[in-house]
Amino acid sequence: MSEIRTLLATTDLSAHSRHAVVRAAMLAAEIGSRMALSHVIGAGGLEQLRRLFLSGTNEVGERLLDEVRGEVRELADEVGARHQVGMDVHLVVGAVLPELGAYADAIDADLLVLGARGASPMREWMLGSTTERLLRKTRRPMLVVKQIAHETYRRVLVPVDFSPRSIEALRFARNVAPKAELILLHVFEVPFEGKLRYAGVEDAALSSLRVTAKREAVERMNQLIADAELGDAPVRRIVMHGDAPSIILNQEQEQDCDLIVIGKRGAGLIEEMLLGSVTKHILAQSSADVLVTDRAPA
């Protein structure tokens, strides 16, 4: 199993990042992991503020740092006390992504937890810029929190493509939500279906191909569940034909899921270089929290 020993939550002291801190604390309490909380103060903004003052520049900077440090510590104490979780607090001045990456490496974080959006009011319909950039760069699993955390995860949707990364996604889903029902979803298309239709293949023949493809997918899903060694986790299987992003989002609503666990990349070279198009679409459009796994299988 992909054990989660250390959670790293990040905050910019916005409401969205507070939701992430609460979710991380709830997870840490449920699965018994260590938790750290990080806040990075942009060095450029701090230096610009200091230049605005003709005197007492060091004093201004120190007062600002003390104030921010107090806010982060207050957040850690409040949320930690509510969920009975201790937090290591990390406050540093610098570039956000390098500092977060360095601290995650230093504590060997098994899971990063961030809010879907930060303090900026811009791009409200998309992911926050820091979250999206970190998703593109990190090799660590990352939980993007969209909802206010009222309770532990109850129903988790796991889209699978039968690759080794699907096993990793299943194991992470089991560890992050040990009491939740796992809903495995595989969306398939008949290879070259559009070209076959264009070539005049009749609907009856295409329907027969879909039946065969679905039967094979069900067999592979059963094998995937066995390989993932999920123990007594309640598991439901769904195999559907169609457009993957649309069906994933539809099933999120139909099954009333509060978490989606999905791989970061697909199988192609382009997908290996970039944040996968399906994953990016789910991150932007889903209502549920999204856990993006990205560890290469052992």
The pLDDT profile of the chain, 298 residues, written as one tens digit per residue, is: 468 999 999 998 888 889 999 999 999 999 999 999 999 887 655 555 555 554 555 666 677 778 888 999 999 999 999 999 999 999 988 888 889 999 999 999 999 999 987 544 333 333 456 777 788 778 899 999 999 999 999 999 999 988 888 888 898 899 999 999 999 999 987 666 666 666 666 667 777 888 888 999 999 999 999 998 888 889 999 999 988 999 999 999 999 999 999 987 544 433 333 456 788 889 889 999 999 986 543 3
Amino acid 125: pLDDT:
32
User: Do 248 and 213 fall within a single domain?
Assistant: yes
Rounded-to-10 torsion of CA 266, 272, 275, 281 = -20
Q: What is the domain count for the chain?
A: 2
- Cβ distance 148 to 42 under 8 Å? no
> Which of 129, 150, 171 is where one domain is finished?
150
* Main-chain dihedrals φ then ψ at residue 77, nearest 5 degrees: -65, -45
Amino acid 120: pLDDT:
46
Residue 192's domain comprises: 151-298
Which CATH number covers residue 30? 3.40.50.620
CB-count burial class (<10 Å; 0-12, 13-18, 19+) for 292:
buried
CB-count burial class (<10 Å; 0-12, 13-18, 19+) for 122:
exposed
CB-count burial class (<10 Å; 0-12, 13-18, 19+) for 84:
exposed
What is the rounded CA–CA span in Å between residue 68 and residue 178? 35
User: Do 142 and 167 fall within a single domain?
Assistant: no
> Which of 115, 150, 185 is where one domain is finished?
150
Amino acid 159: pLDDT:
94
User: Do 61 and 144 fall within a single domain?
Assistant: yes
> Which of 150, 166, 199 is where one domain is finished?
150
User: Do 177 and 136 fall within a single domain?
Assistant: no
- Cβ distance 117 to 85 under 8 Å? no
Amino acid 2: pLDDT:
60
Amino acid 270: pLDDT:
37
